[in-house]
Structure 1
Amino acid sequence: MKKGLMEVMMLLFASMALLAGCASDASGDEKVTIGVTQIVEHPSLDAAFEGFKEALAENGYVEGENVTYDVQIAQGDMNNAQSIANNFVGDKVDLIFANATPSAQSALNATKDIPIIFTSVTDPVGANLVASFDEPGDNITGTSDTHPDAIPQTINFIVDELQPGKIGVIYNSGEQNSTVQVDVIKEVLGDTNVELVPVSVSTSAEVKQAAESLVGRVDAIYIPTDNTVVSALESVIDVAQKEDIPMFAGELDSVEAGAVAGSGFSYKDLGYETGEMAAQVLNGDKEPSDIPVSYPQSLKLVINKDAAEAQGLEIKDEWSDIAEFYEGD
């Protein structure tokens, strides 16, 4: 009896171990597909995606091993963005990473079931992506790329240090994130005698003409975090250098690219924070509705010395008290 009982118990333990091993193998072999929808290619959005992937890799989701990224660029076209989102739903991806406001809006239009984690969104509430920062929604959350003090810091610098009569701004009025920023600029300039001269574009091909239209009409140019305009930033830089019109920007990648100055943060860091959110969702630790929307906590004003010289602006020594200097490689 005892011998028979021991044999049965040994067989039972062996079976349990085999089942446990199979479960462990299944868990280890489980792979996920993340649909990446990005409205255009430009340095800030690309950096955010890199940070996103880095965070996921550090949380065990390694590209080529247990995660596949299906990356689709909409080339600035909302119809393309919607088609991309619809295709992701049809493919039943495990999560959608929406990089920029139009991409996030398209993703939310396409599904209320697949988790959506967004970044590079200026005003997620105004864009009707989330109900509030604290209570985003059933299947969506992410990070905003707008620090409340970013635009006021740069615009006040322009007003106080350059004392311009007029500031031009180039933006795509079809991008909700950009119209919000233009409204903020108007509010900041409300207590000054400086006039804002807005020029709207629909495509990146119109950006250079828009910049040329400001020649002789403004004393400085400000470029918000507008996907359409930033994707054609080089054409604005070209006009600014030829005409000695200092150009300022809403994020630091554009400062590195050739804007005189701007207030901002690292988009890679922002993407990293977004990736950590995605990892929590993929792990099953949290639902998107459990994760509040966040925005960058650090902010700095950076001045590109080479760009200032190229655009006819003399650097003042006292600016080192309020800004960091970028001098290129």
Structure 2
Amino acid sequence: MRKIIVTLLTIGLVFLAACGSSDTESGNNDSGDGEVYKIGATQIVEHPSLDAAYEGFKQALEDAGLNVEYDFQSAQNDQNNVKPISDGFVADGVDLIFANSTPSALGALQATSEIPIVFTSVTDPVDAKLVDSLEEPGGNVTGVVDLHPEAIQSTVQFIADYFPDASVGMVYNAGEQNSVTQVNTVKEAAEATGLEIEERTVANTSEVQQATVSLVEDVDVLYIITDNTVVSALDSVVGVANDHDIPLVVGEPDSLAKGGFATFGIDYHTIGYRTGEMAVEILTEGTSPNDIPVEYPPQLQLYINKTAAEEQNVEWHSDWDEDAEFVE
């Protein structure tokens, strides 16, 4: 009987491990109201932008003086892990779910219509059917999107201004609604310019390098949006861009640190922090997510990585010295 029990426990542990990586941490603060809040935090994968949003979220709750126990779990970029993670949060009776990415938010909503959910790193929550509208989210979900309404248009115009009549290569996971929405917006914006869009789709990170290589002979610029799959394998895209002197435009500043050349981006720590402030209002004041409108990021800025520009043999323009923030 003892052997059977040990075997069953082992099977159970293996099953839990298969649902993605997890980490339980405490954010207790003695200046709180004495109540300990339990928050389930989940994101589709760990990469710098999503990680920065999570850190911003926790900082907001710490600054508000809340006593918090976090159960953080990453789906490890496996869609099969997404809903089971939130199912686990529901079973544990968490007070709130922080969903960091579109797949994670969808998984949380599928798991519960009762527990409050706040999201960030979501591009179009209406199109993804997370909320009814930005002004009146409906149900138990609200948050902060990660795409400034002018970001893609500004990026496309930047490419058209400095790389006129270019063919622009895009690699993305068509299984991510977040990415499909962005690519469609890029195409619409490009219609008013002389740019042509060449696409390659991937299903996982192992396909990213080959998909990028397949574009080399056909494109003048690479544009990688905030696609979780591709950003997780961005090093391979950077290698191709550097080897073939192709400017690499990216969707957010954190990708510049990995070797992207330029972006019109936002600060993910800031949008995570604002999402945390929403969580504080829900937890301490009993506000319904439906009464908190979904928000856009507050600022948009041109960022340029000078080292990457040199690696990709980009012709420098003097106006960038005045207009851009520089990232190493």
Same topology, TM > 0.5: yes
Aligned ranges 1:1-329 → 2 under 5 Å:
28-61=33-66, 66-326=67-327, 328=328
Instruction: Call closer, same or farther: CA 1:280–1:295 in 2, change over 3 Å.
Output: same
How big is the shift at 1:312? 1.1
Letter in 1 for 2:36: K
CA shift for structure 1 position 289:
1.1
Q: Secondary structure at the match of 2:260?
A: coil
Which one-letter code corresponds to 1:57 in the other structure?
Answer: E
Q: What is the CA-CA distance between 1:192 and the residue it aligns to?
A: 2.4
Q: Distance in 2 between matches of 1:205 and 1:51?
A: 30
Distance across 2 between alignment mates of 1:200 and 1:277? 35
* TM-score, reference length from structure 2: 0.88
Seq. identity, %: 54
What is the deviation of 1:285? 4.1
What secondary structure does 2:83 align onto?
Answer: helix
Which of the pair is proportionally richer in helix?
Answer: 1
Q: What amino acid sits opposite 1:34 in the alignment?
A: I
Contact 2:160 2:194 in 1 (8 A): no
| TM-score normalised per structure 1 | 0.88
Return the alpha-carbon distance in structure 2 between the equivalents of residues 174 and 299 of structure 1: 27
User: Take 2:274 and 2:34, find their aligned partners in 1: how far apart are those partners?
Assistant: 26
Q: Distance in 2 between matches of 1:263 and 1:87?
A: 37
| Unaligned 5+ runs, structure 1 | 1-26
Cα deviation, residue 284, structure 1:
2.6
Q: 1:28 to 1:316 in 2, by over 3 A?
A: closer
Q: For the residues of structure 2 that align with 1:146 and 1:290, how far apart are their CA atoms?
A: 22
Cα deviation code 1:145-193 (max 9, x no counterpart): 1111101111111111122431000111000010011011101111223
Q: How far is 1:51 from its partner?
A: 0.3
For the 8 Å contact 1:305–1:315, the answer to whether it is kept is: no
Gaps of 5+ in 2: 1-31
SS in 1 for 2:277: helix
Q: Which runs of 4+ in 1 moved over 3 A?
A: none
Which is higher, the Rg of structure 1 or of structure 2?
Answer: 1
Where 1:292 maps in the other structure, the secondary structure is coil
1:206-257: per-residue Cα shift (whole Å, max 9, x none)? 1111111111110000000111111111110011111111110111111222
Q: Which letter maps to 1:48? A: A
How much has 1:269 moved relative to structure 2? 0.5
Q: Matched residue pairs, number?
A: 298
Query: Aligned partners of 2:145 and 2:250: how far apart in 1?
Result: 17
**Aligned equivalents of 1:259, 1:109: Cα separation in 2:** 35
Which amino acid letter does the alignment assign opposite residue 218 of structure 1? V
Report if aligned partners of 2:148, 2:266 keep a CA contact under 8 Å in 1. no
For 2:50, the aligned partner's letter is L
Per-residue deviation, 1:322: 3.2
Q: How far, CA to CA, are the matches of 2:101 and 2:319 in structure 1? A: 36
47 and 234 in structure 1: CA distance in 2 versus 1, 3 angstrom threshold: same
* Alignment CA distance shift 1:28-1:158 (3 Å): closer
Matches of 1:181 and 1:28, distance apart in 2: 42
| SS of residue in 2 equivalent to 1:135 | coil
Give, in whole Å, the separation in 2 of the partners of 1:177 and 1:28: 38
Three-state SS of the structure 2 residue aligned to 1:137 is: coil
What is the CA deviation profile of residues 5-55 of structure 1, one whole-angstrom value per residue up to 9, with x for unaligned ones? xxxxxxxxxxxxxxxxxxxxxx95421110011000110000000000000
Contact 2:149/2:296 (<8 A) preserved: no
Q: Structure 1 residues 49, 308: CA separation in 2 closer, same or farther (over 3 Å shift)?
A: same
In structure 2, the residue matched to 1:16 is none
Whether the 8 Å CA contact 2:122–2:178 is kept in 1: the answer is yes
How far apart, CA to CA, are the structure 1 residues paired with 2:268 and 2:150?
16
Q: Once superposed, what is the RMSD of the aligned Cα atoms?
A: 1.4
Cα contact 2:60–2:277 (8 A) shared by 1? yes
Letter in 2 for 1:263: F
